[in-house]
Structure 1
Amino acid sequence: MKIEGFEYVRVRGTDDVELNVAVGGSGTPVVLLHGFPQTQLMWRHVAPELAADHTVICPDLRGYGESGKPAEGYSKRTMAADVVAVARELGHAQFALVGHDRGALVAFRAGLDHPDVVTHLMCLDVLPTLDMWDVMHGTSAAVGFHLYLMAQPPGLPERMIAAAPDEFFGYFLDLWANDPAAIPDDVRAAYLEACRRAVPSIVADYRASATIDVTHDREDLAQGNRLRMPVTVIQQDWGAALGFDAAARWKVWAPDLHHETTTAGHYLAEEAPQQITRSVRTLLTRPRT
């Protein structure tokens, strides 16, 4: 399945990894990064709307969808460098960046590592990696069991998930959607088929978030590196549910922050596409200080 009206191209990221990229529209560029367990198809409602007056670029992250799946290289730093390389290859030295879930973690890292490239940043339904691990404790951490499973050394997580991939990935598609109709059967089938072919790389992506990504975040925090661009964060009210102040945690990283909670489920771009489209347009009007 494809985003209607978009052209699909193969573009090299870092380490010669080829990424599958949907491109549409014209105007100032906006890059949209998908989450787990999805592909670029999750932007099928938002991307065409933004393409009315923007060049919209929707890659499959390395390891996902139709993009290359190397055995290693899943730090968010490397994945962020992929995004910058893709945009540059398509002729864009700067761009606004929107990420959901795993894509939001890549977007966050791109904003820290490439502040002169990322003009505006939106992150949907995540905390920064370091904060995510910090707030997970006690029985409330059970909600993130998959994070701990895929953080284990190579071997067991891959075998366990590969034994029942549709049940594993489908569990999250079902559990995290407040509106199941937002992910119709054909889209759900496309996501599951893509994940079925990507178990080792998806696990590698998550494993990096328990290892090298934490190291990179700690280094940035200690060095005072912060997001310099206007930042919007939209997420479910996990703070209230798990006992932390999500906005305060984001404010540490993003001085120019707009933070809001939503009643939609985790799959915001599919459950509340009009809200997300409006919020992206509003973000792009904010001047960089």
Structure 2
Amino acid sequence: MFDNFRLEMIDVPETTLRVRHGGKGPPLLLLHGHPRTHTTWYKVAPILADKFTVVCPDLRGFGKSGKPSDPYDHEASSKRAKARDCVALMEHLGFDRFFLAGHDRGSYTAFRTAMDHPARVEKLAILDGVPILEALERCNLRFAQQWWHWFFFAQHDKPERAILADPLAWYGGSEASMGKENFADFRSSVEDPRTVQGMLGDYRAGIHIDHLHDLDDRNCGRKLTCPLHVLWSLQDDLEMLYGDVLSVWQPWSTLPVSGLGIDSGHHMAEEAPAELAHELISFFTA
């Protein structure tokens, strides 16, 4: 897994990140979602490494990266804080500007990085996500049925106890579906109390502070200035919830937004790696 990639722990100003990086070419930062770690990219990253220097961290709070000391410190778990981690990480590796792709919860950090640090992000790819503010403002019965966990995960203490009582029953996953090493890394995360707490902090920040950062951007007229490409899993629920996914994103960008659906379940990097890699290569090399 990740042949010819280097694995290391890298200190950034506010935390320590576990990072896998390799390849040659323009820098491309890949951000995983919940409840995965950077190993979710194990099929995609080697394909991309033929054309890019690929950087795959565990986000703050996830995997083997550092955890906020206070799980209810929403600023420490915010996408704004994680965006600072991303910029500092890429600076550490020698990159002032980079391509960026984020999946699921990682898409929110990717979006915030491009919004807060527009000079750093050359192009942005969003996978299976819409802005947090859009998700919350459009919350209806269908959203509540599909994404009820957003609100449960934001509660105090109860979600940790529910998840840790039987993590694999809660999240699913298997060696057969995820690959042996990827599954082992995922399992070590969802069975670790501090990591579960760190991952849930991402949801708590979303409900309490991240959407306010989005709202401030909208009220001030701030928009993405880099090219934006949006991909979503056709077997997941984004089209069911929002219909035309690109129309949700267009008001947040100064440029026309491109994108399409990929025939996959939610974890497209694991389920449709060739199609995903093709889309990312086409977008980032255009």
The runs of 5 or more residues in structure 1 that have no matched partner are 175-179
Residue identity in the other structure for 2:79: K
Aligned to 1:231: 228
Instruction: Check the 8 A contact 1:231/1:283 in 2, yes or no.
Output: no
Residue identity in the other structure for 2:203: Y
Residues 51-74 of structure 1: CA deviation (Å, up to 9, x unaligned): 112211100101111111123411
Structure 2 counterpart of 1:115, from 103, 118, 139: 118
Aligned to 1:177: none
Residue identity in the other structure for 1:268: M
- The Cα shift of 1:184 comes to 3.2
Aligned to 1:188: 183
- The Cα shift of 1:140 comes to 4.3
Residues 77-98 of structure 1: CA deviation (Å, up to 9, x unaligned): 0001101100000100010001
Aligned to 2:5: 6
Query: What CA RMSD, in Å, does the superposition of the two structures yield over aligned residues?
Result: 1.8
Residue identity in the other structure for 1:251: Q
Aligned to 2:281: 281
Matches within 5 A, 1:95-174: 95-152=98-155, 154-170=156-172, 173=173
Residue identity in the other structure for 1:42: T
- The Cα shift of 1:112 comes to 0.3
Residues 224-265 of structure 1: CA deviation (Å, up to 9, x unaligned): 111111111001353542354321111111233112112211
Instruction: Check the 8 A contact 2:128/2:238 in 1, yes or no.
Output: no
> Between the two proteins, what is the percent identity of the paired residues?
36
Aligned to 2:51: 53
Aligned to 1:82: 85
State the distance in 2 between where 1:278 and 1:139 align.
Answer: 32
Aligned to 1:264: 264
- The Cα shift of 1:209 comes to 0.7
The DSSP-based 3-state class of the residue aligned with 1:277 is: helix
- The Cα shift of 1:182 comes to 4.3
The runs of 5 or more residues in structure 2 that have no matched partner are none
Q: CA 1:140–1:98 in structure 2 vs 1: closer, same or farther (change >3 Å)?
A: closer
The DSSP-based 3-state class of the residue aligned with 1:210 is: helix
Residues 103-156 of structure 1: CA deviation (Å, up to 9, x unaligned): 11100000100110000100101111111112331154221121110122x322
Structure 2 counterpart of 1:206, from 203, 226, 234: 203
- The Cα shift of 1:278 comes to 1.3
Q: CA 1:137–1:261 in structure 2 vs 1: closer, same or farther (change >3 Å)?
A: same
State the distance in 1 between where 2:141 and 2:280 align.
Answer: 35
Aligned to 1:252: 251
State the distance in 2 between where 1:44 and 1:243 align.
Answer: 30
Residue identity in the other structure for 2:231: I
Instruction: Check the 8 A contact 1:12/1:85 in 2, yes or no.
Output: no
Residues 163-202 of structure 1: CA deviation (Å, up to 9, x unaligned): 22222222xx48xxxxx95423553343122122211111
Aligned to 1:64: 62
State the distance in 1 between where 2:208 and 2:79 align.
Answer: 11
Structure 2 counterpart of 1:23, from 21, 24, 47: 21
* TM-score for both structures, normalised by structure 2: 0.91
The DSSP-based 3-state class of the residue aligned with 2:148 is: helix
Instruction: Check the 8 A contact 1:135/1:244 in 2, yes or no.
Output: no
State the distance in 2 between where 1:185 and 1:21 align.
Answer: 19
The DSSP-based 3-state class of the residue aligned with 1:211 is: helix
Q: CA 1:135–1:263 in structure 2 vs 1: closer, same or farther (change >3 Å)?
A: farther
Instruction: Check the 8 A contact 1:60/1:66 in 2, yes or no.
Output: yes
State the distance in 2 between where 1:240 and 1:265 align.
Answer: 13
The DSSP-based 3-state class of the residue aligned with 2:240 is: helix
